[in-house]
Amino acid sequence: MPSYELCMLFKALPRTEIVGCLKRTASKIFEAGGFIRRIDNLGTADTPWRISSHEAIHKEANYFILEFDVPTQALKPLNNYLTRDIDIIKRTIFRVPGNDPQPACTLHEELKPPAYRSEVKEMIAIGRRKREREAKKKVQFNTSIDFMPFQR
């Protein structure tokens, strides 16, 4: 399962209601088959600008970051749920790099001289095919005359 990071801004609420909001969000992640790795409370702060959400304007918010793992198919319903929650002002889900498989090492291929690299050979073949196609496009006169009288 890929790892994700959810940045949320809650309304300026009392601590008990914030706990309830976090429980709702966590239970939705658990229902989707995921698990939470970390919850960070960044505290209450003024928003950088006025944020309009659910027919209200907010100038202050509680900032939280949740790091969790969940199947990719469950992201859309989770995001839909978070959009409808009236206590969440703003939410953004980021994919955390790190669990992705490493690409194969090609150092031995890149240390070869350019003429012997497979990518360079492919580019040369593409260029050769392109020149052949352009040569076919040129008009060839078949008049059985060895010279063209109107061209010098």
| Residue 68 amino acid letter | F
Greater pLDDT, 16 or 143: 16
| pLDDT tens per residue across span 96-115 | 887 666 778 888 888 899 88
| Structure confidence at residue 90 (pLDDT) | 94
Contact in structure between 39 and 25 (CB atoms under 8 Å):
no
In a shared domain, residues 80 and 33: yes
Shared-domain flag, residues 68 and 123: no
8 A C-beta contact, residue 111 and residue 125 = no
Asked if the model's pLDDT at residue 152 lies above 60, the reply is: no
**112 shares its domain with 84:** no
pLDDT at 98: 74
In a domain, 146, yes or no: no
pLDDT for 30-82, tens place per residue?
Answer: 999 999 999 999 999 999 999 998 889 999 999 999 999 999 999 999 999 99
Is the pLDDT confidence value at 124 over 60? yes
Give the pLDDT of residue 147.
Answer: 62
Q: How many domains does the chain have?
A: 2
At 5 the pLDDT is: 95
Q: Which of 45, 73, 95 is the last residue of a domain?
A: 95
CA 14 to chain centre: 35
pLDDT at 144 over 80: no
Whole-structure pTM value: 0.63
Burial readout 51-90 (b: 16 or more C-beta within 10 A, e: otherwise): eebeeeebeebbbbebebbbeeebbeebeebbeebebbbe
Average pLDDT of the residues of the chain: 88
**10 and 85 belong to one structural domain:** yes
Partners of 61 in beta bridges: 45
